[in-house]
Chains A and B, each alone.
Chain A
Amino acid sequence: MDYSQFLMMPQEIGLLVVFLLVFLYDTFMPAKTLKGLPLFATIVFGIFTIFSFCPVNVQEGMAFGEMFESNKATWAMKNILNIGMFIVLLQSIKWANSDFVSVRRGEFYELMLLTLFGMYLMISGRHFLVFVIGLETASLPLATLVAFEKKHYESHEAAAKYVLTAVFSSAIMLLGLSFVYGITGTLYFSEIASSIQGDNSLLLIVALAFLISGVGYKLSLVPFHLWTADVYQGAPTMVTSYLSVISKGSAAFAFFVILVQVFGAAYASIWEWMLYAIIIITITVGNLFAIRQRNLKRFLAFSSISQAGYIMLGVVAANHVGMASMMYYILVYIFSNLAAFGVIAVIERKTGKVTTDDYNGLFKTNPWLAFVMMLAMFSLGGIPPFAGFFSKFFIFLGAAQTHSVAIYVLVFIALVNTIISLYYYLLVVKAMFIRQDECVIPAFKSHWTERAGLWICTLGIIFIGIISCIYASLSSITSSLTEMFAMI
């Protein structure tokens, strides 16, 4: 065996090292020092995040019999996820040391890191076996994480819902993959792509639909979204924020690769239309349901459903601008959504309040938290000069690159939905800033780690859009993937 292949996966190895360090700390350190475990895990992960940014490490090519690909796009995507993961870990330090959770804090960090490893495999896998292993590694530990607040009834309910839907959708996806295997006799992306050229079997279309529904569940696209609101509400807020951004981002990237690389050449017109319909209902249903929500976690659940629809616009584009815009969108979305969830988590930990009405007059008592929340809402709603505006504009540009009138109609529907979404994002802003007569939440001081996490998000929201080199580098990375888009 050629051990140099492992050089292709520096990030995976780095993550495993982080995992092992956390595991060893958890197992062998005296009980007194375990209070430092969350901080230790965060710092180690932070160092890993910074190191994995070094472009020296990027080895391009295929490893392990072409099952695993490493290129600049996967490298960039993993880094984007790392940033999000770092913020989540940073924000969860205080929570992980709280009374009910602290006995199991080691498990929390270990399971989080494991799911991230699964997502890495989803991103880099070029064989369906690797992809499925990645998907399962990313899904199943999350069920444990969702059930992490043992004393809360909702947490259990959420975990049960999550695990049942996860298993069910995996089963459907595996059935679809078995169809693919039956037709082509292989599970390699590249081999499937070349063997289905010109082949137009109905079975393959069914397989494609099953595959889309399997991944669509991960992304909580409508109509595979029914678990989302309950799970988001019941899960601990840190896990919810993890579910809503990181898990979604990795699935979106893997989805793009599969659709374009495997089915791109022969079936582009079919899956594009499937996605077309899914996007329209995803964005619309997500938005319309979000309007009625009073619980902010449910509210953000529906908001994130509609955001997933916007991310899918990049997939429909199926070109390098779309891919760059999608990655950029995910990056911006990580900062915006983690800012919103960060504020919710802080307030929930301190006061236990999570409804919109509780946020009345927040600006008066906690101006800084209200300000961060407002930035997050504006960024999610796509208001300039915040990052969300740029990401929305670019994803629309990417989609419209294809020049068809149908895509313009799609973009128009998405734009109309932006206005609807702006309505409910402004409802939160209204509660915090305009309803100043009653103040439900008293003034309090948040922990420094939580503030640090929110600061990172704030800086990200303000500067990612204005500093153009981030998008430019993503764009140059994706435009170098000529092989991938050659067939489309």
Chain B
Amino acid sequence: MEIFSNMLIYFVIIPILTLGGLALCKNKGIDAIRAVAVTGATALVGLALYLVFYFLRQRHLGVTDDMILTTSVTWYAPLNIKLALGVDGVSVVMILLSAFIVFAGVFASWKMDPLPKQFFLWFFLLSTGVFGFFISVDLFTMFMFYEVALIPMYLLIGVWGSGNKTYSAMKLTLMLMGGSAFLMLGIIGIYFHSTATPGEYTMNLLEIAKNNAIPHNWQMYLFPMTFVGFGVLGAMFPFHTWSPDGHASAPTAVSMLHAGVLMKLGGYGCFRVAIYLMPFAAQQMGWIFLTLTGISIVYGAFSACVQTDLKYINAYSSVSHCGMVLFAILMFNNTAMTGAVLQMLSHGLMTALFFALIGMIYGRTHTRDIREMGGLMHIMPYLGVGYVIAGFASLGLPGLSGFVAEMTIFVGSFEHQDMFHRVLTIAATTSIVITAVYILRVVGKLLYGAVQNEHHRSLTDADATERISTATLIIAVAIIGCFPNFFINIIRDSFNPVVEALTSVM
């Protein structure tokens, strides 16, 4: 089988094998379940690191193809649907991010109760979808994996969540599936306009982009559909309302995966499908979505300022940061788009860190309301320091990932000379200040304020597995902050085809 000689397929096969291994475990055999989950997650991280290494070596050897490791195997011959794989710099980075977060997520849900086996089954099904999405370059398989990644959320939140979980789970699922309804129509439309010669329709992204045959009037219909379809997952205003509720009700590991990886699917899809395939409409209609994402950024940040639930604060902060991703992608230049990917990385790791810490704090204090907590820095210094680091990364302190990402985005955005982009960029920049407000407010109150509850004094600090999970993420955040060039080198060239397509229709 040709497909198995491509290492990318193993990003799907490993989670599926893990699923199989988990299915064989006994319901009560918690040790076996953990062992299988950790093995699977570690294998994924190892493979992802090897992929990065392989990618860099290929680039070093002078391979300048847009996509490497491309394989295409026919799946549904009558409809010319293929199982087409391939990665460029952006997907490599995204795969690395996902692997790290899956790894950290397994440790964050170490003490999962009840039904640990079922939890990890759904968790790895979600991972299968995420990895499958990033390795595919065929619209059909991409869409299929996209939906595979969405549906486990319903049960993960509904069964293991807290608070108003049934409502949140249903709202999240229906809104995301609503987005994918738009997306499916968009994909069908793209498919039937993928080529100039009728009857040879294709779903392969690279071929569609090469054919460049989608008529301009059709682009004007299909672009908003695909963009909104992915934008819902990227928490674009006004389709972001599922995100805060979903985050607040989800268990820790799911929040991590959700904010860390799942929302990235939206941003990635927006540029890979909507903008790459329909550059004309992107140029024409970009301003509408740019305005919406601008609103997301500022509105999300302001909303975070008034929340008192820790998870809601970070959920709205995610809306703001993910808005920044889409905002940067819509700037249509190499610098801003590179910034967008850095922001995805940064936001993914940082938010995962946040949610892991919140989960740990909540597991001890049993409240997430900042009014009922205080002085935690003395009680649990490790978690406190972790929280401060995550906060600094979020508000863009130099040396951590947030700074690099936001800096690149705003420099890229300012490359536009016209009034519209300038004003929007300035408006978006204010979010940095607002972010500082809500982060420092939480840090001041939660960590340094007066102890609100005397029972909290007897709480313990993080244990070994919790330290592994948070330390991994903190180190990753610092690495991006200190060595951004390593990532920028991987990412930068990947945007050339998109930017070329965009400039050619100007």
A interface, CB within 8 angstroms of B: 321, 324, 378, 383-385, 389, 393-394, 396-397, 400-401, 403, 408, 411-412, 415-416, 418-419, 422-423, 426, 429-430, 433-434, 436, 468, 471-472, 475-476, 479
Q: A415-B185, A476-B78 are in contact. Are A422 and B158 (CB under 8 A)?
A: no
Choose one: B78, B151, B181, B184; the contact of A471 (CB below 8 Å).
B78
In the complex, whether B307 has a CB less than 8 A from a CB of chain A is no
Q: Name B68-108 residues within 8 Å CB distance of A.
A: 75-79
In whole angstroms, how far apart are the Cα atoms of A394 and B185 in the complex? 12
Residue contact A423 to B78, C-beta cutoff 8 Å: no
Give Cα A219 to B148, complex, Å: 31
Q: How far does the alpha carbon of A416 sit from the alpha carbon of B177 in the complex, in Å?
A: 9
Interface stretch, picked from B186-194, B274-282, B315-323, B330-338, is: B186-194
Whether, in the assembled complex, B159 has its beta carbon less than 8 Å from a beta carbon of chain A, the answer is yes
Contact of B158 among A384, A385, A430 (CB under 8 A): A430
Decide: A389 near B144, CB < 8 A? Known: A403-B192, A408-B189, A419-B178.
yes
Q: Which residues of A contact B429 (CB under 8 A)?
A: none
Q: Please measure, in the bound complex, the distance between the C-alpha atom of A396 and the C-alpha atom of B148, giving whole angstroms.
A: 19
* Contacting pair B151 A383 (CB below 8 A): yes
Given contact pairs A383-B151, A384-B148, A433-B159, A400 touches B188 in the complex (Cβ within 8 A)? yes
Per CB-CB distance, the 8 closest pairs between chain A and chain B, nearest first, are A475-B78, A415-B181, A434-B158, A384-B144, A384-B147, A468-B76, A400-B188, A383-B151
B178 and A397 contacting across the interface, CB-CB below 8 Å? no
The reply to whether the CB of B154 lies closer than 8 angstroms to some CB of chain A is yes
- Output the nearest chain B residue to A383 by Cβ-Cβ distance: B151
With A389-B144, A393-B140, A471-B78: A419-B154 Cβ-Cβ less than 8 Å: no
Complex CA distance for A401 and B198, rounded to whole angstroms: 11
CB distance from B141 to the nearest CB of A (A): 10
CB distance from B332 to the nearest CB of A (A): 28
B213 to chain A, nearest CB (A): 14
Chain B residue, CB-CB nearest to A417: B181
23 contacts between A and B (CB under 8 A): A378-B151, A394-B79, A396-B184, A401-B192, A403-B192, A408-B189, A412-B181, A415-B181, A416-B178, A416-B181, A419-B174, A419-B177, A419-B178, A419-B181, A422-B173, A423-B170, A433-B155, A434-B155, A434-B166, A468-B75, A468-B77, A471-B76, A475-B79
> What's the minimum C-beta distance from B480 to chain A, rounded to whole angstroms?
33
Q: Tell me, in angstroms, the Cα distance from A396 to B191 when the chains sit together.
A: 12
A412-B75 in contact (CB<8A): no
A223 to B392, CA, bound (A): 62
Write the nearest CB–CB distance from A305 to chain B, whole angstroms: 20
Nearest B residue to A403, CB-CB: B192
Q: Contact: B170 with A426, CB < 8 Å?
A: yes
Contacts of A389 in B (CB 8 A): 144, 147
Chain A residues touching B, majority SS: helix
Query: Within 8 Å CB of A396, what residues of B?
Result: 184, 188
Q: Across the two chains, which residue of chain A brings its CB closest to B173? A: A426
Interface positions of B from 378 to 428, Cβ below 8 Å from A: none
- B184 adjacent to A415 (CB under 8 Å): yes
* Cα distance A314–B99 in the bound complex, in angstroms: 41
**Residues on B with beta carbons closer than 8 Å to the beta carbon of A419:** 174, 177-178, 181
In the bound complex, residues from chain A placing their C-beta under 8 Å from that of B166 are 430, 434
B145 CB contacts on chain A under 8 angstroms? 384
Contacts of B154 in A (CB 8 A): 426, 429
B90 to chain A, nearest CB (A): 24
Whether the pair A429, B189 counts as a contact (CB closer than 8 A) is no
Q: Give CA–CA (A422, B191) in the complex, Å.
A: 25
Nearest-Cβ distance from residue A419 to partner chain B, whole angstroms? 5
Query: Does B177 lie within 8 Å of A422, measured CB to CB?
Result: yes
**With the chains together, A189 CA to B178 CA distance in Å?**
43
- Evaluate contact between A321 and B155: CB separation under 8 angstroms: no
Say yes or no: B148 contacts A385, CB within 8 Å. Answer: yes
Beyond A419-B181, A475-B79, list 8 extra A-B contacts (CB 8 Å): A389-B144, A396-B188, A400-B192, A411-B185, A415-B181, A419-B178, A429-B154, A475-B78
Q: How far is the CB of A431 from chain B (nearest CB, A)?
A: 10
Given A383-B147, A426-B173, decide whether A433 and B184 contact each other with a Cβ distance below 8 A: no
How far, in angstroms, from A62 to B243 measured CA to CA in the complex? 60
Beta-carbon nearest neighbor of A324 in chain B: B78
Could you tell me the distance between the alpha carbons of A431 and B192 in the complex, rounded to whole angstroms? 40
Chain B CB within 10 A, most for which of A408, A419, A433:
A419
**Contact, CB under 8 Å: B158 / A393:** no
Task: Please name the residue on chain A nearest to B151 by beta carbon.
Answer: A383
The residue on B at minimum CB distance from A385 is B148
Taking CB atoms and an 8 Å cut-off, the chain B residues in 169-223 that contact chain A are: 169-170, 173-174, 177-178, 181-182, 184-185, 188-189, 191-192
From B141, which residue of chain A is reached at the shortest CB distance?
A384
Given known A400-B192, A408-B189, A468-B76, contact A393–B151 (CB-CB < 8 A): no
Question: Which residue of A is nearest B176, CB measured?
Answer: A419
Chain A residues whose CB sits within 8 angstroms of the CB of B75 once the complex forms:
468
Contacts A378-B151, A384-B148, A423-B170; is A321 near B181 (CB within 8 Å)? no
Q: A384-B148, A423-B170, A426-B170 are in contact. Are A397 and B79 (CB under 8 A)?
A: yes
Residues of B within 8 A of A411 (CB): 185, 188
What chain B residues lie within 8 Å of A400 (beta carbons)?
A: 188-189, 192
- Chain A nearest CB from B478 CB (Å) reads 38
